[in-house]
Chains A and B, each alone.
Chain A
Amino acid sequence: MFGPLTVKPSESKGDKTGSWRTLVRPNYLHKDCIACRMCLMICPEGCVKGKEKNAFSVDYTFCKGCGVCADICPKKDIEMVPEEPKEGDR
């Protein structure tokens, strides 16, 4: 008999840590982006995707709103904006 033991990456969907955001979320302006990819590299969640200029985006299912991407962007093309109230928020 076996109980909980191993997990394959395909079996794991991850926790929806986007629900952690309460104050701010990143807003990608898509104006001055030079596709340096620093935002993609620095995200602790690895939830920034993109390849072309002005075409990088965040997966808000996982983004925790830490703001490091906005801080690292050399063109200040990412701003932290107030988080939208979610269902269930008062």
Chain B
Amino acid sequence: MKEFVEGSHAIAEIVKACQPGVISAYPITPQTHIVEDLAQMVSNGELKSQFVNVESEHSAASVVLGGSATGVRVYTATSSQGLFYMQEVVFNIAGMRLPVVMTCANRAVSAPINIWNDQQDSISLRDAGWVQIYAEDNQEAVDFHLIAYRLAEDKRVMLPVMVCMDGFILTHGMETIDMPEQEKVNKFLPVYKPLYKLDTAEPMSMGLLADPDYYMEARFAIQETMKESVGYLSEISSEFKAVFGRDYKDLLVEEYHTQDADKVIVAMGSVCGTIKEVVDEQRAKGKKVGLLRIISYRPFPYARIYEALKDVPRVAVLDKAVSLGAYAPIAVEIKAAFYGKKKGPKVISSFVAGLGGRDITLESVHEVLRRLTAKEINSDFIDLKPELLKEEYGK
């Protein structure tokens, strides 16, 4: 059923449809509306979850860890500082192979403190062992939560999934969404049947100490499962299409006019909407420009990216995050996809944009295309204001 709603509310609706048993979250802008809506739903009796108002994000993640370990579907949401505060629990949840689903309302990280959107928060947790999928718009954000639970709870996977949506831009943006109906959700998403759980009928110990004789295999198993998940995402996408009609292809990337492109921009999240406008405009002028949108950041789809871009002479990677002291995160992975291979772009240039919510405009995208020349650029910041920079403090 089509609704014109705020992104956050749409997420609350879809989480309600997934019927988690335990919800726990701590307020942080710009996630708050999602959790407030869920609280109201519980209060109205529309949602029969146990809603646990915790005293920190570390505890929010710990509560859903405990709930998931007891064999119940769970949900939490956070951003930025909250995600960082729960970081050790995030790693713990993946290591313990618990199918937690979390919404990350992407927001810049301190310091300086900034509540607006970039992708530094979730990207900084890329090593954690969570599947990370990034939505371009709110329809995807909604659909991806269903896909997240389906993937996380798959007996072959049992890994937590983070659905990333740009804070404010998507969470507080109003869009027309085709809200999945409960019967279809029930058809797509089976009742959760845990492989292991805390149950007095069948006691077991979880979270044991693993010394050097045992630790590596536990980690290797997650790495292998991540690799296998590349294929499972395609499978689940087909199932999704069969029930809801929307086709996310392999849920790894979206190729937008990349087939015969001379220049392709690689990006992730809502900025792709802006980039698509520029691509359309350029194509109308006969310029062969394209966009490769990354949907699955973890597992990173190296092979798929290779296939998509191997014949494209020039690629510009647009990162909304930095790895201070090194090249930007997505750019590094894109380069890695081609190293040692027979084919690949002659130039992969890397740009950092949109940090702390600085608007990425159509003009910004044009700037990227202009600077995508034969000379490789490494992690240049665009739309920078030099007047704010001083060589020495206080002068």
A residues near B (Cβ < 8 Å) are: 1-9
Contact = CB atoms under 8 A, between A and B. Distances in A.
B225 A1 contact: yes
Given A2-B225, A4-B210, 7 more contacts: A1-B225, A2-B97, A2-B158, A3-B214, A4-B208, A5-B196, A7-B208
Q: Which 9 A-B pairs have the closest CB atoms?
A: A3-B221, A3-B217, A3-B218, A1-B224, A1-B221, A4-B214, A8-B204, A6-B204, A7-B205
B206 to A, nearest CB: 5
A3 B219 contact: yes
A71 B214 CA distance: 39
Contacts of B225: 1-2
Contact of B204 (A1, A3, A7): A7
Q: How large is the interface on B (under 10, 10 to 19, 20 to 34, 35 or more residues)?
A: 20 to 34
A1 B206 CA distance: 17
Interface in B176-232: 196, 202-206, 208, 210, 214-215, 217-222, 224-225, 228
A5 B220 CA distance: 12
A87 to B, nearest CB: 25
A15 to B, nearest CB: 13
A4 B203 CA distance: 17
Q: Which secondary structure dominates where chain B touches chain A?
A: mixed
Interface of B: 96-97, 158, 196, 202-206, 208, 210, 214-215, 217-222, 224-225, 228
Contacts of B222: 3
Contacts of A5: 96-97, 196, 206, 218
Given A1-B224, A1-B228, A9 B203 contact: yes
10 contacts: A1-B224, A2-B97, A4-B208, A5-B196, A5-B218, A6-B204, A6-B205, A7-B208, A8-B205, A9-B205
Contacts of B219: 3
A7 B207 CA distance: 9
Contacts of B205: 6-9
A8 to B, nearest CB: 5
Nearest to B156: A1
B220 A3 contact: yes
Contacts of B228: 1
B202 A6 contact: no
